[in-house]
Amino acid sequence: MSKYKPIALVTGASRGFGRAIALELGGAGFRVALVARSRSGLEETARQAEQRGVETLRLPADLSVAAETSSLAEALRAWGGELEVLVNNAGVIAPLGSFLEVRFEDWAASLQTNVEGTARLTHAVLPLLSQARRASIITISSGAAVSDIPGWSAYCTAKAALDRWALVLDAELKETGIRSYSFAPGTIETEMQKSIRSSGVGPARLVSGEVEHLPAEVPAKAVVFLTSPEAEPFAGRHIDIRYPEVRKVLGLPEL
């Protein structure tokens, strides 16, 4: 038996939902590898995790840069132990605005970060995940993946692409012991939500702040559930925290 606790790798771990996921996974018994562009944010997440007795590995990186992504896999190998969980949480909502009005370079860069960066990292660490007896890839989706929101064409396109990719990934990998999940966590009070309100672009209830936001810890606990064998019936599906069957499993009240 390995002397190491299993590893969970969380991207976008420097703040908000990513930080909450990292803390909850640490509380569930994982060592947590933290990935984000912000070094200071990673340090704060690591500090909070280590105060709870969680062992962390800080991996500052820009997932849109191929060389930085490949170095992450090497760092994980050097850390030792089995990588059992990958949470693809990193992403950006910008640019917000009409497709004809935003700079196309910004639109394309959004897809490069959200889709290409996520897929590149997953491809790099799949050999490590395949060494575990069972492993989970949890890609954070959004209601935007199944919605037509004027002014959000880059984000909706990216989330729809990631959603389908996560489902195909499950079909390809499930015989290897790796399960893939696409999880929409609902509306959480994060920096992204603040940027939506300040932009004035998007669904009126979000822009006006009328939507009730979940504490980040609630959907983060759902992510922990998705790492368990009991979650396997949800693999290969777009799942949303608003779905009755999901809420029932998590002990959340009906909407």
- Residues marked as catalytic: 155
Q: Is 27 exposed, middle or buried (0-12, 13-18, 19+ CB in 10 A)?
A: middle
Biggest CA pair distance of the chain:
57
Rounded-to-integer distance, Cα 137 and Cα 36, Å: 18
Contact 9, 35 (CB under 8 A): yes
User: Which is nearest to 223 in space by CA: 196, 188, 191, 254?
Assistant: 188
User: Which is nearest to 134 in space by CA: 5, 6, 1?
Assistant: 6
Contact 59, 31 (CB under 8 A): no
Q: Is 94 exposed, middle or buried (0-12, 13-18, 19+ CB in 10 A)?
A: middle
Contact 100, 188 (CB under 8 A): no
Rounded-to-integer distance, Cα 82 and Cα 33, Å: 12
Rounded-to-integer distance, Cα 86 and Cα 123, Å: 11
Rounded-to-integer distance, Cα 150 and Cα 242, Å: 22
Contact 190, 214 (CB under 8 A): no
